[in-house]
Amino acid sequence: MLKPLEGKTAVITGGSRGLGEAIAYKLASMGADIAVICSSSVEDGEKVCEKCIQEFGVKAKAYQCDVADFEAVKELAGLIKADFKTAHILVNNAGITRDGLAVMMKEEDFDRVIAVNLKGAFNTIRAASNIMLKQRSGAIINMSSVSGLIGNVGQANYSASKAGLIGLTKSAARELAARGVTVNAIAPGFISTDMTAVLSDNIKDEMMKNIPLKRFGEAEDVAKAAVFLAENRYITGQVLNVDGGMVMN
């Protein structure tokens, strides 16, 4: 039986671990071929690709690229096009944190987070849109955060980058809609990852007070949201909160 995304190619930045890894597996399970973009070593990305190939029978390949580098992303787009012929789905999941109170934050920490989280998404959208506009179809999914909606103490740089992603999403959605390309964002809340696993019970209890559903989300919850937006052709310019009710617009 034909899978919903069979014949499609999905490009996932930051796809070698965490949410990106979960999204890669979910899209592959739906039949999509997978291009995993890694910031440094491609070894972890290759492991993700191997699982996609063995378990889901799709084509998959890992690439190394600093998404903050415009020319590197442009070159990467050429490599992916040569290997996969096209791209139908782009998931901008690459992101970093360099936390600290704004009054003490180093300039380089602010600049680097903006460069990777926000400019990196612009770079990949710029490269992918050339392909998607010609084929008159495509789905771009930007990974924002509840921090971009309500802010967070010690994350002025991260929150600014994720809020900027929402503005980028809405502007790109308006620009690309006429050619059948959708652009949406996902804003995860507290998701169970390696990062949250090491938090103390006291910190987790404090976090729970802000979550109406009284539990952390799973990476699978975010991955399902990505599949939903990848498949739906009549939703664009929207922010889908996956946060247990933390932010209710």
- Residue % of the chain over a pLDDT of 90: 90
Beta sheet of 181-188, edge-to-edge order: 60-64, 33-38, 9-13, 89-92, 138-143, 181-188, 239-242
Q: What is the largest CA-CA distance in the chain?
A: 57
Has 234 been annotated as catalytic?
no
Q: Tell me the whole-structure pTM to 2 decimals.
A: 0.96
Contact 37, 15 (CB under 8 A): yes
| C-alpha span between 100 and 155 (Å, rounded) | 6
| C-alpha span between 139 and 27 (Å, rounded) | 13
- Cα-only R_g, the chain: 17
Q: What is the pLDDT of residue 249?
A: 72
Mean pLDDT for the chain overall: 95
> What is the phi/psi pair of residue 119, to 5°?
-65, -35
Cα dist from 103 to 100, 106, 156, whole Å: 8, 9, 10
Cα dist from 230 to 2, 32, 40, 84, 244, whole Å: 16, 10, 27, 18, 21
Tokens representing residue 169 in the block: 């999403």
Among residues 25, 63, 158, 234, the one annotated as catalytic is 158
Q: What is the pLDDT of residue 198?
A: 66
Tens digits of per-residue pLDDT, 164-215? 999 999 999 999 999 999 999 999 999 998 766 766 788 788 888 999 999 9
